[in-house]
Amino acid sequence: MSSELKVAVGQFVATGDWAENLETCADLVRKADAEGAGLLVLPEGVLARFVEDRERIREVAQPLDGPFVTGLARVTEGLSVTVVVGIHERADDGDAGGKPFNTLVVLRDGAVVAAYRKLHLYDAFSMRESDNVMAADAVPELVDVRGFKVGLMTCYDVRFPELARLLALAGADVIVLPAAWVKGPLKEHHWNTLVTARALDNTVYVVASGESGPRNIGQSLVVDPLGVTVAQAAEEPALLTTVLSAQRLAEARDRLPVLANRRFDVDPNPRRIAMPAAAASCSE
């Protein structure tokens, strides 16, 4: 592992126009690379955002070889930064009823190096992401970024500590968390508490990118393996940068050996759940 990894977190307001969002992401990629970041984390589902008429997610979803991903991949050609960005990915399964996946795409030097399809769909707080999105069943593989092992989670995943634990036990040093965290009573408190808890209870860095705007809270943050917030944005568009330290990681795990002291393992096989009746849909 390198001794340090500079990370950047991009926060912005996604629109309903994928081409406009692509330009915003491309600008953040270039800025992050110019600042020497090895990793840039962008929000969840930024291919297109609809406050109302959310079933249009099905219409605007694109495959991984579609114009949004390929366009952003071209921006990364020749750059040293690895980019994590969330899109809605058109599914190949004809039985999916037109529902896409909520997918994190990892881009580096012009290529897709990994993808994670969201496991936990936001069917909570009277909203139902599963009305328009299909859940996946696979725990994501880790991605190597300059010697740091990076695990992938998306938004509502943060409420399920077993996924973060699985990633930590697989060897994650860092967990990235693109999100579109919806405003509401206590929601800002939940966001900060959960991101901090996942870092602290697994002694990992958590790099969380939140979409901003009238619907979502923004408040991107980076939390270190002892639960200390080392960088945070407010509600407006922003580009944060900070440095992750291998020494800090090692010291945290020496002082707080929760992974070694644990008494229980986590089953990596997703359980099957019955979906309730349809209602509204959203991302958290």
Active site residues: 44, 118, 155
Neighbours of 267 (CB within 10 A): 8
Would you call 196 helix, strand, or coil by DSSP? helix
Listed residue (35, 3, 4, 13) closest to 233, CA to CA: 13
Q: Is the dihedral of CA 207, 212, 215, 217 positive or negative?
A: positive
- Distance (Å, whole) CA 9 – CA 148: 17
Q: Residue with structure tokens 């644990």?
A: 262
Neighbours of 69 (CB within 10 A): 22
Tell me the backbone φ, ψ of residue 156, rounded to 5 degrees.
Answer: -60, -20
Neighbours of 111 (CB within 10 A): 10
Residues 6+ apart with CB under 8 A from 228: none
Burial class (CB in 10 A: 0-12, 13-18, 19+), 113: middle
Residue 58 is encoded by which pair of tokens?
A: 């099905």
- Distance (Å, whole) CA 24 – CA 268: 36
